[in-house]
Structures are given as C-alpha cells and as structure tokens.
Structure 1
Amino acid sequence: MTFLVLLAGLAAAALHFAFFAYVVLGGFTAWRHPRLFWVHLGVAAYALGIVTIGWPCFLTEIENWSRAATGRPVMEFGFIDHYLTGTLYPREHLMTSRYVIAGVVAASWAGTWWLWRRRVEADAGEHRSGIRS
C-alpha cells in the first residue's frame, strides 16, 4: 500500500512537470492544431489563478498527501517553489520568471492569431477566385 501511495505522489509530480511545460509551451501547439488554443487558454487561466489568486492545485494536494503518508516532508509553498525556484532561476528572480513565462505564452498566442489570420485570408482568396483545393 505504501508503494502505491508513493507511486501516486510520483505520478502527481510528473504530471506537475507536464502541466507546467504545457502552460509555458502549450500555446505553440495551436500553431499546428488551432483548436488546441482553447485548451491552452483554459490551462493557462487555471495556472494564473493558482499563482495570483491562490486557487488550490489538486496535483499539489495529491503530492502532499503522498509525501505525508510516506513520511516525507510536504511541499510548504507548492510545486513551483519546491522544484523550480532556486533551481531554474534564483529565488530573487521569481517575478522575472513569471514575466518571461507570460511573454512566452503571449508570443505563442500572437503567433496563433497571426497564423489564423493568414489561413482566413488564404481561404477568402481561394473562395473569391473560385479555386478549390
């Protein structure tokens, strides 16, 4: 049973890293698959709510439950503080890292918008000229 609890915590940690990667880079998936923009918008909004409003993160709760049940210390301030702050960037640059992440997300969304506009204009041009693919 302890092994399963530990495994659940490790799975939550792995999903946390995947979630974080998708928050930062997932907007670029919409360049190839435009409908994924809406998925990324929801994920990014949830992540923003966790960081700014303090919404609970169910992955943090699962990982902390696993840590407590297996005798390991719980994450006091959450996933980002526990795994990333002080590792990927110095602690004093937390806000800078947030601005960089926001910039990457904004760039991915701007690219999505630009590609969407090009597709709409190309479709309109084909329609006007009577060319069909």
Structure 2
Amino acid sequence: MTVDLFPGPVVAELADPGARFIRETVLPVEDRHRGVVHSEAVRVDLQCAAKEAGFFAPHGAAEYGGHGLDMRGRTAVFEEAGYSLLGPPALNIAAPRHIGILDENLFGARQSSSSPARPRRTSPAPPSPSTAECPVTVR
C-alpha cells in the first residue's frame, strides 16, 4: 500500500501566494523591528493583513474563515510562514492559538473547559483581531 503525500492542487494554489505574502508583507515588518516586536498593535496589523489576503488561520475550518487544510496541506503553508519569525503569529498558526483551532476542528464546536477531551491552557491566548479592528495599516 502506498501513501500519497502530495498535498493537492488547492494547497499549491495557496502556498505560492502565501509565500509571497510572507516575503512582501511580513518580512519587511520583521526587518523594521529586527525580528522582535514588543507591540501588540503590530501583531494585530499583521493578522488583519493576513485576513485581507485570505491566509489567516488557514488550518481552521472553512466555516470559521480558514481553508480546512489537512496535515499534508498544513505542511506546505506552515513551512512558508515559518520562513519569518513573525509569519506564524501573523497567520495565527503559532501556539497556543493553533491548538485551540485544532481542538475546534477535531471536536467540533467549542467545548467547555471542563471537558476531559480538550487540554487546558495554562495561560490565555492573545485574542485574534475582530473585523472591527481591521483594516489597519501594517506598521
């Protein structure tokens, strides 16, 4: 039995523009801040830019604005985001947010924190920008 690891044409169509987004939008911000951002506003700006470009939380379910990528698809898109230190937070794929989105994909609707199937967080995740906070210029 062979295992097909090719992510498929949809992922290829997403990975190339995703790489361009990281190079053209995220890396200039990283260069300006020398890789260290102490401002919450910069993260929110990058996440708003990712939402506008259609790359915010690509591993999330389609009904939540993601692309519903499986593990093969995630590798291609996450690899492109990992080219920059600010790429994973910009796309909302950095832990602990990534884990919460995976929980929603695996277990359906948000469960209560008392559910044994869902791991507890030890620290709160930074909130994702709401549509009211976007659009903002990338700083």
The alignment's TM-score, normalised by the length of structure 1, stands at 0.27
Higher gyration radius (CA) = 1
- Relative to its length, the structure with more helix (as a share) is 1
